[in-house]
Amino acid sequence: DVKVTQSSRYLVKRTGEKVFLECVQDMDHENMFWYRQDPGLGLRLIYFSYDVKMKEKGDIPEGYSVSREKKERFSLILESASTNQTSMYLCASSNGLNYGYTFGSGTRLTVV
């Protein structure tokens, strides 16, 4: 069964901490994405990667960075966590730009 695995299901961090969210896919997909999902705001794209070491900003990249050193792994970094980054973070991958996504199980991050 193909999978997108996110390293943590729940995470609590303090304001100002540097936070790493890890995502690994086993489908050899080129494209990987990071979204956050908030009630009333839906899914918002943070960053996207279409190849190793390649990245593109999404709609809300401020306060975030990403790393893709290997094809299967796409990391989201919160440089200095703030309370407004409390959210559900979803990683996804796809086999092409016109294909649907496979999502990971999500990381619910709380910043206190």
Residue 27 tokens read as 């489908």
Region of residue 63 (phi > 0: left; psi between -120 and 50: alpha; otherwise: beta)? left
Cβ at position 80, least distance to other proteins in Å: 26
64 or 101: CB nearest other proteins: 101
Q: State yes or no: residue 45 binds other proteins (CB under 8 A).
A: yes
3-state SS, one letter per residue, for 62-79: CCEEEEEEECCEEEEEEC
| Amino acid in position 55 | K
The CB-of-66 to other proteins minimum distance in angstroms stands at: 14
Over the window 3 to 42, marking each residue x when it contacts other proteins by CB under 8 A and - when it does not, the resulting string is: ----------------------------x--------x-x
Closer residue to other proteins in complex, CB, 51/79: 51
| Angstrom distances, CA of residue 67 to CA of 23, 24, 45 | 10, 12, 15
Give, as ranges, the residues between 83 and 112 that touch other proteins (CB under 8 A). Answer: 90, 97-106
Q: With contact defined as beta carbons under 8 Å apart, do 103 and 37 qualify?
A: no
Question: Interface residues with other proteins (CB under 8 A)?
Answer: 31, 40, 42-43, 45, 48, 50, 56, 58, 90, 97-106
